[in-house]
Amino acid sequence: MRRLLNVLLLALPIAIGSRLLHWPDWATFAAAAVALLPLAGWIGRATEEAAARMGAGLGGLMNATFGNAAELILTLFALKAGLLDVVKASLTGSIIGNTLLVLGLSALVGGLRHGTQKFPVRPTGRHAAMMILAVSAMALPAVFATVVRKPFVREEVSVGISILLLATYGAYLYFSYFWKRREDTGRAAPPETRGRWSVRKIFAILGASVVGTAVAGELLVGAIEPVSKQLGLSRFFIGLIVIPILGNVAENYSAIVFASRNKMDLALSIAANSSTQIAVFVAPLLVLVSLLIRPMDLTFQPIELVTLFASSAIFAYISLDGETNWLEGIQLLALYLIAAVAFFFLPG
C-alpha cells in the first residue's frame, strides 16, 4: 500500500505541469486529487511516529492537531477563492463522511469478518457528546438568521460561538491527553513503543507533506468551478462528497483496516476524532480566519443540518451498547448514500 502511495506522488508534478501547460481543467483537478491521497497518508504516518516517540500526551495532541491538515488546507484555499458554499459543504461532508461512510464501512467489513465487535463505551460517549454539542452550535446561527437578517450580526454570533467551541475543544484535548493520563497514573498501562523515525525526520516529512498538500489544494480548488460546469456537478456536491473523501482518505483507510483486524475501538476512535475535530476545531477556526480573508458565518442550509443531526444521533445510538455488527454498517452506509443522492440533485 505504501509503495502505491509513493507512486501516486507523481500526480503532483503532473498537476503542476497541467496548470502551466494549460491542459483541460478536469486533468488538473484529477491529478491534484490523486496527489492528495499519498500526501494525506504521509501526514498521518508522520503524526503516528510523533505519537509513538513523544508519548501519549504530546503525541496525541499533535495527532489531533494535524489529523485534518489536508481538509483544513483545502477549505482555506476555497475560502480564499470565495467559494463559501464549497467550504461549508466540505465541513458538513467531512462530519457525515466520518460518522456514516467510514464508520459504516468499518462496521460492515469488521462485522462480516469477525461478527459482533465490541469497544469501550465511555470514550465513545465523550465523542458523541462533543458531536451533539457541535451540531447544536452549528444549528443555532441558522435559526438566528431566520429572525435577524443583518449579515454583520450573524457574523458576530458565529464568531462568538466559534470562540466558545474552540475553548471547549481545548478543554476536551486537555482532558483526553493529559488529565485522563494523570488519573490513570499508577494503573497498569500498555508499554509505549518508541518511534522508528527521528524527530528531525518526523518534522521534515510533515513539513514537506503539508507544503505538497498546499500546492495540490490550490490547484484543485482553482479547478473546481470550471470542472463543476464541464461535468454538470454542482459545487455544493463537489464540496460535500468529493473534497471530504479526498481530504480524509488516509484516515478512512486506516479505520477500515483496524476494523478488519477486529480492533473496532481504534476504527471508531479514528472516525469519531476526525468528526469532532472538524466540528469543534476546523469549522470555528475557519470562521475566525475568514475575518482576515472573506467573512464566513456558521449558517448552514436546512438539509445540511438535518443530515448532521441524523448522523450525530445514529452515532450516539450505536455507541450506547458498546458493540457493532455488519447490519449497522449497512444502515450507516444507506443513510450516507441517501444523503448523497439528495445532495447530487441540489442546485449550486
Query: What confidence tens digit (pLDDT) does each residue in 214-224 have?
Result: 899 889 988 98
Enter the pTM of the model. 0.84
Average pLDDT of 280-291?
A: 91
Task: Please answer whether residues 234 and 346 qualify as being in contact, where contact means their C-beta atoms are separated by less than 8 angstroms.
Answer: yes
Fold of 2-184+194-344: A middle domain of Talin 1 (1.20.1420)
- The partner residues of 117 in beta bridges, in order of sequence, read 324
> Residue 243's pLDDT is what?
83
Q: What is the pLDDT of residue 130?
A: 83
- Does residue 187 carry a pLDDT above 50? no
**For residues 286-300, average pLDDT:** 89
pLDDT at 332: 92
Amino acid at 126: R
d(CA 286, CA 83): 13
CA distance 166 to 284: 7
Name the E strands within 234-287. Answer: none
pLDDT tens readout for residues 320-344: 788 899 999 999 999 999 999 988 8
Choose between 195 and 28: higher pLDDT: 28
How confident is the model at residue 189, as a pLDDT? 46
**Higher-confidence position of 17 and 184:** 17
Would the pLDDT of 109 be above 90? yes
Q: Which of 6-10, 143-147, 234-238, 239-243 comes out lowest in average pLDDT?
A: 143-147
pLDDT over threshold 50, residue 287: yes
- Across the range 55-65, mean pLDDT stands at 59
Predicted confidence at residue 326, as pLDDT, reads 93
Per the DSSP assignment, residues forming a β-bridge with 50 are none
Range among 89-98, 123-132, 239-248 with highest mean pLDDT value: 89-98
Mean pLDDT across the stretch 71-90?
87
Q: State the pLDDT at residue 107.
A: 92
What are the DSSP E strand ranges found in the chain? Answer: 117-118, 323-324
Cell numbers for 336: 450516507
Q: How confident is the model at residue 67 (pLDDT cuts 50, 70, 90)?
A: low
How confident is the model at residue 200, as a pLDDT? 87
Per residue in 188-198, pLDDT (tens digit) is 444 444 557 88
Q: What is the structure's pLDDT at 188?
A: 44
Mean pLDDT, the chain, whole residue set? 83
pLDDT of residue 147: 82
% of the chain surpassing 90 pLDDT: 22
Interval 123-136 mean pLDDT: 82
Task: Look at residue 14 in the predicted model and tell me its pLDDT.
Answer: 95
Q: Is pLDDT above 70 for 123?
A: yes
pLDDT at 184 over 60: no
The mean per-residue pLDDT over the stretch 42-58 comes to: 72
Q: Residue with C-alpha cell 486529487?
A: 33
The burial of 81, by beta-carbon neighbours within 10 Å (0-12 exposed, 13-18 middle, 19 or more buried), is given as middle
What value does the mean pLDDT take over residues 270-295? 87
Which has more pLDDT, 264 or 4?
A: 264
Q: Is pLDDT of 267 > 90? A: no
From CA 343, how far away is CA 241, in angstroms rounded?
9
The residue-averaged pLDDT of 84-102 equals 89
**Does residue 305 surpass a pLDDT of 80?**
yes
With a CB cutoff of 8 Å and minimum separation 6, the contacts of 203 are 46
pLDDT at 215: 92
What's the pLDDT at 63?
63
